[in-house]
Chains A and B, each alone.
Chain A
Amino acid sequence: MEKMPSPLWTNSTSLERMTGTWRNALPYYKNLPSPCHGACPVDGEIAQWLLQVNKEDHFGAWITLVDNNPFPSIAGRICHHPCETSCNRTNLDETVGICSLERFVGDKALADGWAFAKPQEERPEKIAIIGGGPAGLSAAYQLRRRGFQVDLFEARPALGGLLRYGIPAYRLDKSILDQEIARIIDLGITTHLNAEVLDAKALKKLRENYDAVYLATGASKPKALPGLDYCADYVLDSAEFLAATNAGEKCELGEHLVVIGGGSAAMDVARTARRLGHRVSVLSLEPDELLPAQRAEVDEAKEEGIGFICSSMLKSVVAGDDGITLRCTKIDFKPGETRGAFSMSEVDGGTFDLTAHAIIPAIGQDADIDRWTGMLNAQGPVVATDAKWQTETDGIFAGGDLASMDRFVTQAIGMGKHAAVAIAGYVCPDQVVSQPDKGAEVPYKAINTAYHPKEQRNAQAHLMVDVRLQSFKEVQLPLPEAEAIKEAGRCFTCGTCTLCDNCFLYCPDVAIKKVDGGYTVDADYCKGCGLCVAECPTGSIAMQEES
């Protein structure tokens, strides 16, 4: 006879009971985009590479970075970093110092000599890229790593465009530029220097010889300030000044210079001139708080002893024996609805005189569109393109300052990337990649800040002012490794699972299981309480009602 189990003892575990039937919603894991990703001009996977830096996987971080941007060292120095403005952490204390961390990873790659992986396959299609600035180089990189044959045409004797001829060395050391460009060219890109594509006819010929053409010749024509005689010997345009000084040439301009403009280029001119021993005043239409240059640039310029005469307009210039007199007036400046638009009115009795020796207007550059008449059409001040950066001529794509008014270096890098993807799809339809819907960005309220104690960001060290004024050494100093790892740890990692195990360890129902590279919810037992969602430090779990 079978032995009866004792009625006093349990005979099974509670696993017999399927408590999942209680549930009306089930958690699911979804890597959602972070606000910094949405703001990034190159669609950088910022949360991902910051996490890699924090885990001391710097090579992994670099691989993640260069998937979208081959210039982390450059962007880490000069990007206008909209990511930091959009950072969820600004709601708690201060943004994560993303830009300084990008520089950290980029510099680590250069120091350790990390190279890009060669293309996995060689493809026969040939692409011509005209313009070796940030947009052209970015497109060349993205096309070459997909295996296309890339010919890069640059009008000047060296690659880099604005990065070389516009940005002064105290913001971007030329050796950094050289190294990051060389790393791209080493992928097997054929370069043609001093090879200007002169006109529409030359462009047409190129188009005939290549499967597609990418045009990124920048904005090379200085905007003219009305009422200023550009032929006078006391006027020198900013682009000319920066190109000359970047090449180490001297400009004989006298002691006191007035720079007209309030953008990044004006700051570059003013601070360069200051380093060459000039007394410098910046004259801008915008009031101080609305100067279009990055705030750090303005602050650093002031530290360097540059005078700012804001909300002011030049009316006329009188040349004298020893220098010039600028007749100016105070104005009331009102910003418009779109970037760059504004209205203004003169302030009664606001006229004043300014004595100086030379004027450097730095009010921006226009794209040279006339050159392509017959092949390309204009759309306002830029070349007309469709959403995929294709111009009205089949197979000719355009980007960078030539095709957009978003005039930031990283915007150009992003445009180069996007055009490269479009070009790859154009020449070879099997390379068309559909962009999956990534879902809504993770809002601040989805982050459980109990796991993120308040902590101020790193204070990126700067060169002392007296040292700055004696050289063109970089003003911003690199972040030491220990500080970089710590700073990366401030990232909320919005929307990206960090495998922290909180969901696994907090579940009162032991209903979350670890699987290879992540977690899964055991629907047999999950009661749908949502505690895993509430205690997720990154906002990468959400509840979903079941149909």
Chain B
Amino acid sequence: MEAIKYEENGQFHSGHVACAGCVEALALRVVLNTVGQDAVAVVPPSCTAVICGGYPFSSVKIPVFHTTLESGAASASGVKRALVAKGKPDTTVLCLAGDGGTYDIGLQALSSAAERNEDILYVCFDNEGYMNTGGQKSSSTPLNAVTGSTPAGKLTRKKNMVEILAAHRIPYIATASPSDLNDLTDKVKKAKNIRGMKVLIILIPCLPGWGVADDRAVACAREAVNAGVFPLFEVEDGTKYTLNVKEKVQPVNSYLAMQKRYRQLSEEKISAIQADVDEDWQRLMDKTNGR
């Protein structure tokens, strides 16, 4: 059995208010411990903001700056430039956002920061919806998923954020999953040592938002990776694609079956999801093979 190798060094505290079994808290724990003490976090409204904060307490050992939902990447850019001006160019600036702050409301600021190639490490905890406000759809919500604002299932597919970012030709983009903490750790380490804009998108199965049992979030993320719904890969300089999990080994059915947001899907809708997954996978394979 391969041992999990991220090092716990006290960067994240107990007592935060994430739901029991929340793997966003787990992913945050891994990211913070891997980045280490010499870092500053900028956090727009999101579950992460709640997990880090709850004034006057903090669950995070590094300084955290809570900013507005539309300005995560812009604020992080400013913090980084201020640190450089103060003679601290090596301090890592993290922007810890949700998918609402990344795919939707924060996209303008993110695109601008990417275009300027700001030296920040932007981490998107992607739970595919506005789960902190009761579970509304975002542009990251996948096809046919039920949310508070898509009661009959979302009619359109999930926005392909990696391709948008790749079009900016930033140095590093990667996807990661709480089911593979070594891959996540390696990617954080790698990103930390790259100058310029880095974006990490971590899939976060949301227990109440997706309707997943308290102890099943890691298993759900694992199914997503195995089914090719959420492939683990890296894009360097916008063009060089590397797959970290070489193949998808199962159809989407068991992944869908463990989530209430896909409850009572017709065979037709399941086939539509499978077709999207297959198409995206093929597209990714083509890019990996330089086509």
Contacts and interface: CB of A to CB of B under 8 A. Distances in A.
Nearest to B226: A450
A338 interface: no
Interface stretch (B11-19, B94-102, B132-140, B264-272): B11-19
A15 B13 CA distance: 7
B14 A511 contact: yes
B26 interface: yes
A23 B61 CA distance: 25
Contacts of B219: 450, 534
B214 A529 contact: yes
Contacts of A507: 26
Interface in B183-225: 214-219, 222
Nearest to A452: B1
A20 B58 CA distance: 17
Interface string B57-85: 11101000000000000000000000000
B15 A13 contact: yes
Contact of A10 (B29, B58, B217): B58
A325 interface: no
A199 interface: no
Interface stretch (A370-378, A418-426, A497-505): A497-505
B21 A14 contact: no
B181 interface: yes
A47 B219 CA distance: 25
B41 interface: no
A508 B21 contact: yes
Contacts of B53: 10
A213 B179 CA distance: 59
Contacts of A527: 19-21
Interface size class of B (residues with CB under 8 A): 35 or more
Contacts of B181: 505-506
A508 B15 contact: no
B206 to A, nearest CB: 13
Main secondary structure of the interface of B (DSSP, over half): loop
A106 B29 CA distance: 45
A508 B18 contact: yes
Nearest to B181: A505
Contacts of B20: 22-23, 509, 527-529
Given A10-B56, A10-B58, A451 B1 contact: yes
Interface string A429-450: 0000000000000000000001
A508 B25 contact: yes
Contacts of A531: 21, 23, 26, 214-215, 217-218
A487 to B, nearest CB: 14
Given A505-B181, A533-B215, A450 B16 contact: no
B56 A11 contact: yes
Interface residues of A, number: 41
A508 B215 contact: no
A204 B12 CA distance: 74
B215 A14 contact: no
B1 A530 contact: no
B8 interface: yes
Interface in B1-36: 1-4, 6, 8, 12-26, 29
A163 B24 CA distance: 61
Contacts of A529: 20-22, 214-215
A63 B250 CA distance: 44
A12 B56 contact: yes
A534 B216 contact: yes
Given A450-B179, A510-B29, A530 B215 contact: yes
Contact of A17 (B4, B15, B22): B15
A211 B39 CA distance: 75
Given A500-B3, A506-B218, A13 B22 contact: no
Contacts of A508: 18, 21-26, 29
B26 A506 contact: yes
B218 A509 contact: no
A502 B1 CA distance: 11
A522 interface: yes
Given A508-B23, A528-B20, A534-B219, A15 B14 contact: yes
A530 B17 contact: no
Nearest to B214: A529
B3 to A, nearest CB: 6
B57 A16 contact: yes
B17 A17 contact: yes
Contacts of B4: 500-502, 505-506
A501 to B, nearest CB: 6
Interface string B34-54: 000000000000000000011
Nearest to A24: B20
A153 B215 CA distance: 60
B14 A19 contact: yes
Interface string A510-540: 1100000000001011011111011101000
B15 A534 contact: no
Interface in A17-70: 17-19, 22-23
Nearest to B213: A530
Given A505-B6, A528-B20, A10 B57 contact: yes
Contacts of B26: 506-508, 531
Nearest to B207: A529
A489 interface: yes
Interface string A227-246: 00000000000000000000
Contact of B218 (A9, A498, A511, A535): A535
A533 B21 CA distance: 11
Contacts of B21: 508, 527, 529-531
Given A13-B58, A14-B54, A505 B218 contact: no
Interface string A447-466: 00011100000000000000
A84 B54 CA distance: 54
A19 B16 contact: yes
A537 B1 contact: yes
Q: Name the residue in A450, A510, A525 with the highest tally of chain B Cβ atoms < 10 Å from its Cβ.
A: A510
A536 B81 CA distance: 44
Given A505-B6, A533-B215, A534-B215, A13 B25 contact: no
Given A23-B20, A529-B20, A534-B216, A505 B58 contact: no
A511 B29 CA distance: 12
List the 10 closest A-B pairs by CB distance, nearest first: A529-B21, A530-B215, A527-B20, A14-B15, A525-B14, A508-B25, A14-B59, A17-B15, A529-B20, A508-B26
Interface of A: 9-19, 22-23, 450-452, 489, 498, 500-502, 504-511, 522, 524-525, 527-531, 533-535, 537
Interface of B: 1-4, 6, 8, 12-26, 29, 53-59, 61, 179, 181, 214-219, 222
12 contacts: A12-B56, A13-B57, A15-B13, A18-B15, A450-B179, A450-B219, A500-B4, A506-B4, A506-B218, A508-B22, A529-B22, A531-B215
Given A10-B58, A500-B3, A528-B20, 20 more contacts: A14-B13, A14-B15, A14-B16, A14-B57, A18-B15, A19-B14, A19-B15, A500-B1, A506-B218, A508-B24, A508-B26, A508-B29, A509-B16, A510-B8, A510-B13, A525-B15, A529-B215, A530-B215, A531-B214, A534-B215
